[in-house]
Amino acid sequence: MYMAGDAVRRTSPYARAEVLVLLPSLRRGRVSVPRWVRRLLRPSGPAPAGHRRRRHGYRAQSVGWCRVKPLVLDFYCCAGGAARGYQRAGFRVIGVDVVPRPNYCGDEFVQADALDYLKHLRNTAPARISGNPVLIHTSPPCQEANPLTRGTNRANGWGRDHVQYVPETRRLLDQIGLPYVIEQPIGSKVIRRDLMLCMDMFPLDPPRVWRHRDFELSGFEVPQPPHPKHVGRVRGWRHGVRHDGDYVAAYGSGGGKATIAEMRHALGIDWTDVREELTEAIPPAYTEHIGRAFLASRDLARVATGS
């Protein structure tokens, strides 16, 4: 099977990353760094203001100077709603999906079964996972668990053979031991709610989307933004009555549900116009919030932004 690391090993900037992402842990104080590592870190031009190399040790600021971004693995990635948020926070992102996703907006895409891939990572010692991911994001398919679309999916026969991926995904993530995120629609009850995000926490002009998501987090914490009171209704037909409102239902079609253009606007997604991909996506604002909190918790923000 093709593994992300194959590509990582072929491209030199990523090979550097394997060394560099280790350095923030050396932040407080001087450490002796082998000569071959110092050679890898040597900059090609003059050091930007505020960055300096030391004779007998190495300071973490230098990592930002080399502009190597931390890596997040994005499982069940679809077109990359989650990926784009992590990119905006300063990560590079490798996505994994079982079907081809030519619209995927992350930095690399691997077509593979997520559980097989996670098993491969589980069987690899963490320090040897190529590219040195610092975080794993997962969005297991949620058709059966999504209270909003459950009825529609049943009616269409989707989700009848639905496998509940969450328990096995979580079991493998725990065995891998890296910090992780599991995302599901609100109220799915298959994950712990460590964080809940709503698009009204990240205001955009109307039409807005009603897309609440729960997040189970392991190995780090993310501040919970206050949940604003929703004002207005979801546009569309209910029980024979058409309602107007600032919100649009970003799933299905017809009956006043969101058009593709409205979905793109409301989700903050501009790189795909495939309805299924928009329906499945989480707004990038959510993972940008999570990604920034993760980087701050690890003191990696400067590495990610290269500042």
Ligand X SMILES: C[S@@+](CC[C@H](N)C(=O)[O-])C[C@H]1O[C@@H](n2cnc3c(N)ncnc32)[C@H](O)[C@@H]1O
Binding residues (CB under 6 A) for ligand X: these are 76-82, 96-99, 113-114, 139, 141-142, 280-282
At 215, which helix (H) or strand (E)?
strand 213-218
Q: Minimal distance in Å, beta carbon 246 to Zn ion?
A: 12
Which string of x and - marks every residue 200-229 that binds Zn ion (by CB under 5 A)? x-----------------------------
Q: Minimal distance in Å, beta carbon 36 to ligand X?
A: 37
Distance CA 205, CA 199 (A): 11
Distance CA 166, CA 181 (A): 11
The owner of tokens 């590219």 is 131
What is the bridge-based pairing of β-strands 213-218 and 195-197? antiparallel
- Residue 177 · residue 134 · CB < 8 Å: no
Per DSSP, 200 falls in state G
C-beta closer to Zn ion: residue 90 or 207:
207
Q: Is 198 in the site for Zn ion (CB under 5 A)?
A: yes
C-beta closer to ligand X: residue 73 or 134:
73
What is the bridge-based pairing of β-strands 247-248 and 208-209? parallel
Among 96, 103, 101, 89, which residue's Cα sits nearest to residue 73? 96
End-to-end CA distance of the chain: 37
Which string of x and - marks every residue 153-192 that binds Zn ion (by CB under 5 A)? ----------------------------------------
Nearest residue to ligand X, scored by beta-carbon proximity: 81
Q: Minimal distance in Å, beta carbon 230 to Zn ion?
A: 6
Q: Is 79 in the site for Zn ion (CB under 5 A)?
A: no
Q: Is 195 in the site for Zn ion (CB under 5 A)?
A: no
Q: Minimal distance in Å, beta carbon 88 to Zn ion?
A: 21
Interacting residues with Zn ion (CB under 5 A): 198, 200
